[in-house]
A and B are shown apart, each in its own frame.
Chain A
Amino acid sequence: MAFLDNSGDIILDAVLTDTGRLRLAKGDGSFNITKFALGDDEINYELYDKNHPSGSAYFDIEILQSPVLEAFTNNTSTLKSRLLSVSRTNLLYLPEIRNNAADGIAENSTNGIVSVAVDQSTVDALKDADGNLLAGIIDSAELDRNTTDKRRLLFDQGIVSNALGAIGKVALDADLVETQYIVEIDNRLGYLADPTTGAQATPSFIDDDNIASYYLSLTTNSSYFSSATLTESSVISGPAGYRLSLLVGGSTNLNSSTYLFTQLGSTSQITPISTAVDLYHIDTTIRVTGATTGFRVDIPIRFLKQQ
């Protein structure tokens, strides 16, 4: 993907995305543009120099010189960070979404990544001497067995700093509290599940690249949310919003076949007790985006299947 020529007037390079073309081809009226968003994917705000000796006109001189890439047609590859409208201009802090690996599931100590055992034989092979599935691995054979937060993905929203006050003491501005999340996962590999029952969630839609998007709302998916805004968290120390909890299951494709593992994945070993277990694995990413603020977090995840 080339850079755009920025030597003259500002030009606009517009393309339909692959999803846009797909919907246009369907001819069912689903190609209907109703809103827009602005993005700044190429911008590195670390280049903003508030202490530039030449004055404020030079604070963003490096940012304004950032070259901009041509438009991607892949709908999931662009507009990863959107600009945010808040009518107030006096905000100094904005809430983030953080994966809470301290209170929730953390990376498996052997492979360094949160993992999902896709079938019962894999779960059985990865048990420790006490007969418990190793830490950092979700039991996808029966998701309702993941009964503790240590088997769930937790995402806390709030201000990381306590400059505005400590968590539980000062409330996060109501208009910045996330009450709806968009969770994206490769639908060929896995699915989201209710953290309390293990019941499989229904994706809101699956795009042409097999990326499933799940819309989780506080009002209609309350079991995914904490019952109230957080009063304590290992990753948020300031005003906080809700905690989002998730379970991830392996797809039927992964449960019943090694096809995708051989096509997309690799092999590795984990030694739960003394004997190494040979495994297939596929690495992917789960993206959690706040529908209100647009902040997001990407969590790498590994699906495991015993060879």
Chain B
Amino acid sequence: MATTFKTITANDTTNTRTLLHEAIPLTGTIASGTYSDENIKTFSHGMFESVYDYPYLSSSANHIFDITHGYSANSTLSSSAAIQNAKKINIYNQMAAVLVGHDATGSIQAFDQDGDIAGGGTKSEEVFFFNFSRLLTKDEIKKDSFRLTLATGSVSGDLKGFPLTLGDYGAASSYLVNSPAGEYGVLYTSSATPDPASGVGLIYYQAGVAVVSASVFNGTMPGAEATASILGPGYNSSSYSNLATGSSIQVLADSIRDRIDNITFNNTVELNSTVYFCRANNNEFNYSSNPTYLSSSQIRVKNTTSDNPVSYITTVGLYSSDNELLAVAKLSEPLKKDPNTELTIRVRLDY
């Protein structure tokens, strides 16, 4: 029986899972400087600000991350006199509820310095949040790839002085899984000090959120200036604590944005694929229904009946049982098919 289709059996398909990684470099000049802050979108509610890769009024702009700041109601900085005190607490609680979760009594748990929530220990009660766009993080941030370099010294002189690089060093083999938002790792100031007690933040891989403790600006970090200030230009006499209580979230976000030197990470895309093995045996697909294949019904590529038929494959079509074309694959060059050849064409569909 002549036919133009061949059935795909269970032995002709397989499923695979592939992780693809892209390197995402974000230079500090995107966060501050390149576009005179026209790529920084602020909001009247003042809860956070957004960083774009181009002036955000342009349709070409892509949202890359948000910055905000919060502290716990238990923080020593929390005071009714503090500017936007309630909003800073609300931000902290909102992010903690999502990323850390609730305890047995339903209370929101605080960010833990080493991630050992059950074991108690030091809590990070004043933090900055970097919420990266899904456009950048895709399915998740690759473990042990996140690096954030901040200038932690005073602003006078070199704005980018005393840089500290925070990273999830060693996280590929030592990440944590006790968050309701997925896996996360601890940020350290150096690959030489991946001691949980020296953690200065947390990086949530699937959520795409970096939580950076304000302690990086207290002047005690290795390599930091003793009289540290987080502030950007015009605020260089203030310490973090003065700023946290005396300024709005937007000012805090502006300040730390001006101190970003570099952010790099690798994102991850999880590709689930179905591979269809399209097998053409020696006695299959040797003729064609191409309008040019025949001349007055005679096959052009044959002179006599003893000549082998020949066809040329450029396309593979995957069909449903009711003959609807569901997927199509093109070869980059024609592939010769005759009775002396057998082919297996591997078509992969990614989802």
A169 at the B interface (CB under 8 A): no
Chain A interface main SS type? loop
Query: A36 near B334 (CB under 8 angstroms)?
Result: no
**Chain B interface mostly helix, strand, loop or mixed?**
strand
- Which residues of chain B have C-beta atoms less than 8 A from A91's C-beta? 287, 299, 305, 309
In whole angstroms, what is the CA distance A39 to B317 when docked? Answer: 7
Residue ID in chain A nearest B7 by CB atoms: A35
Nearest residue, chain A, Cβ from B304: A92
Task: Report B244 CB to chain A, min CB distance, Å.
Answer: 48
Which residue from chain B places its CB closest to the CB of A176 in the assembled complex? Answer: B2
Query: Are A14 and B349 in touch, CB under 8 angstroms?
Result: yes
A161 within 8 A of B: yes
> Are B3 and A60 closer than 8 Å at their CB atoms?
no
Pick from B23-31, B44-52, B340-348 the stretch touching chain A. B340-348
Is A280 at the interface (CB under 8 A from chain B)? no
In the assembled complex, the CB of A292 is this many whole angstroms from the nearest CB of chain B, namely 5
**CB contact under 8 A between A68 and B331, given known A36-B5, A84-B4:** yes
Chain B contacts of A148 at CB under 8 A?
none
Complex-state Cα separation, A46 to B293, whole angstroms: 7
Known: A79-B317, A86-B2, A293-B4. A43 touches B324 (CB 8 A): no
Whole-angstrom CA separation of A115 from B322 in the bound complex: 30
- Report A166-197 CB contacts with B as 1/0, cut-off 8 Å: 00000000011000001000000000000000
| Chain A residues closer than 8 Å to B339, beta-carbon distance | 89
Cα separation A42 to B289 with both chains bound (whole Å): 12
Q: Judging by beta carbons under 8 Å apart, are A34 and B289 in contact?
A: no
202-261 of chain B: CB within 8 A of chain A: none
Of the candidates B298, B304, B319, B328, the one having the most CB atoms from chain A within 10 angstroms of its own CB is B328
Are B5 and A39 neighbours in the complex by a CB distance under 8 Å? Answer: no
B311 within 8 A of A: yes
A34 touches which one: B285, B298, B314, B319 (CB < 8 A)? B319
A292 touches B6 (CB 8 A): no
Give the residue name and chain of the B residue nearest to A32 (CB): B320
* Chain B binder among A4-12, A131-139, A220-228, A249-257: A4-12
Q: Out of B1, B2, B303, which one reaches A50, CB within 8 Å? A: B303
Q: Is the CB of B326 within 8 A of A35?
A: no
B11 within 8 A of A: no
Range, interface on chain B: 35 or more
Q: Are A161 and B297 in contact (CB under 8 A)?
A: yes
User: Which of the four size classes fits the interface of chain A?
Assistant: 35 or more
| B283, A81: Cβ atoms closer than 8 Å | no
Contact with B along A9-30 (1 / 0, CB 8 A): 0111111110110010000001
CB-based contact A14/B326 at 8 Å:
no
Q: Which of B274-312 contact A (CB under 8 A)?
A: 274, 276, 278, 280, 283-294, 296-306, 308-312
- Closest CB pairs A-B (n = 8): A294-B289, A39-B315, A20-B326, A14-B329, A294-B4, A83-B285, A82-B4, A81-B290
Would you give 11 A-B contacts (Cβ < 8 Å), ordered by A? A34-B320, A39-B317, A50-B300, A68-B333, A75-B324, A79-B317, A83-B287, A85-B286, A93-B299, A292-B1, A294-B4
Given contacts A34-B319, A66-B312, A204-B322, 13 further A-B contacts (CB under 8 A): A14-B328, A20-B327, A33-B276, A33-B318, A35-B318, A36-B316, A46-B300, A81-B288, A83-B288, A84-B289, A89-B283, A91-B305, A91-B309
Write the residues of chain A forming the contact surface with B, with a CB cutoff of 8 angstroms.
Answer: 4-6, 10-17, 19-20, 23, 30-46, 48, 50, 59-60, 63-64, 66, 68-73, 75, 78-79, 81-87, 89-96, 159-161, 163, 175-176, 182, 204-205, 207, 213, 238, 290-296
